[in-house]
Homo-oligomer: A and B are copies of this chain.
Amino acid sequence: MEEKQLLMIPGPTAVPPSVLLSGARPMVNHRGPEFAAVLAEATEGVKKVFNTEHDVFILTGSGTGGLEAAIVNTLSPGDLVLSVSIGVFGDRFASIAKTFGVNVESLNFKWGTAADPEKIRARLHADKDKAIKAVLVTHNETSTGVTNDMAKIGPIVREHGALLLVDAISSLVAMDCQMDTWCLDLVIAGSQKAFMIPPGLAFAAVNDRAWAAMEQAKIPRFYWDLKKAKDYLARGQTPWTPAVPQCFQLRDALRILAKETLEGCFARHASMGAAVRDGVQALGLKLFADPAHASNAVTAVRKPEGIEVGALRKLMLDKYGVVLAGGQQSLKDEIFRIGHLGYVSPLDVVATLGALGLALKELGVSVDPSAGTTAALKALGG
């Protein structure tokens, strides 16, 4: 069964078969009427996911490209930004800003914990002369499996007046993100996470405060220029040739999500998150993230004593066809990660925990292999 895989990583995630086939439609003219209809419907659908009345753009590129767009469209070299980082992707957002000449002040929190909104408030409160132009925050930190409380952080930043740029790449669709209500100014998401479509697209949601910042922003931009995206969207196009298959897929996946409803989607992710956390702990493993801020999209698990992360992942892949993610950077040999976002069902989670129980036993860990699935089923209401 070499070909049968359970892709349990935090992106690219599995894609529904009907959505895979949506991408296999014959090409169309990206400046013609068929594509304009697809782009319009998809853009409206993404707007609903962002919970925004403002502008949303579909960009061709990875999520990192979207983060670059957020930086280069709103900032100038020499601007001061406060980078709130809780992991690899928070650090990456800061790196992008530094690369383009922005002064980055880091407010880092221990990996595995969430950002403390009160510490952000204190730092912004101390900024009497409003030197801080923008605050960078990751909604869901994929490297550690921690979700930041954007509903609290947003209003704190708004009170100060800085622009709030948010990496919501792995959060959107998996958990609630109320862009307008929570006072988020420019939010980036990616296609290959909970949207259930392949990688290739990034989404940028832009409010009036972000547009105003763009008027002043001096970092040069061409491919990622959001004003060009706005001009072209007005005529049903993108400035540059888009990844047409992923646009078809986005439209069709949004129709599926609309049937499930966003609330249903969040509830499914919450129940899968709980089942994974209960299941791995029942197998004697320790969670890496602070349980109070554990992500419902991805769970980071400390490796069992005496076992190599690489060996566990290889056995899970080779024998059981379950694809897990490793740790990144300093966490490389410390944790493995289970993605449970997008086209994943609670039963996929049960199957994954079953394979994990068998693999741990095979690697010599003293464990009841069925403890994970039993705990997961209980969490799911069994």
Contact status A222-B32, CB under 8 Å = no
Q: A63, A198, A246, A317: which has the most chain B beta carbons within 10 Å? A: A198
The CA of A29 and the CA of B7, in the complex, are separated in Å by 7
Q: How many copies of this chain does one complex carry?
A: 2
Contact with B along A41-79 (1 / 0, CB 8 A): 000000000000000000011111100100000000000
* CB atoms of B7 and A65 under 8 A apart: no
A27 near B64: Cβ-Cβ < 8 Å: no
Contact at B244–A199, with CB atoms within 8 Å? Answer: yes
Q: How far is the CB of A345 from chain B (nearest CB, A)?
A: 15
A95 is an interface residue with CB less than 8 A from chain B? yes
Contact with B along A1-25 (1 / 0, CB 8 A): 0000101010111110000110111
- A163 in contact (CB, < 8 A): no
A100 CB–B CB distance under 8 Å: yes
A64–B100 contact, CB under 8 A?
no
Residue contact B26 to A7, C-beta cutoff 8 Å = yes
A61 to B246, CA, bound (A): 12
Q: Which residue of B lies closest to A34 (CB)?
A: B5
Q: Are B200 and A60 in contact (CB under 8 A)?
A: yes
Cα(A9)–Cα(B35), bound, Å: 14
Residue of B whose beta carbon sits closest to that of A97: B222
Partner of A60, one of B25, B61, B95: B61
Q: Is the CB of B220 within 8 A of A99?
A: yes
Q: Which A residues form the contact surface with B (CB < 8 A)?
A: 5, 7, 9, 11-15, 20-21, 23-32, 60-65, 68, 95-96, 99-101, 190, 192, 198-200, 219-224, 239-246, 317, 323, 325
- Return the 9 tightest CB-CB contacts between A and B, nearest first: A200-B243, A62-B240, A20-B24, A64-B240, A24-B24, A12-B27, A199-B241, A62-B241, A99-B222
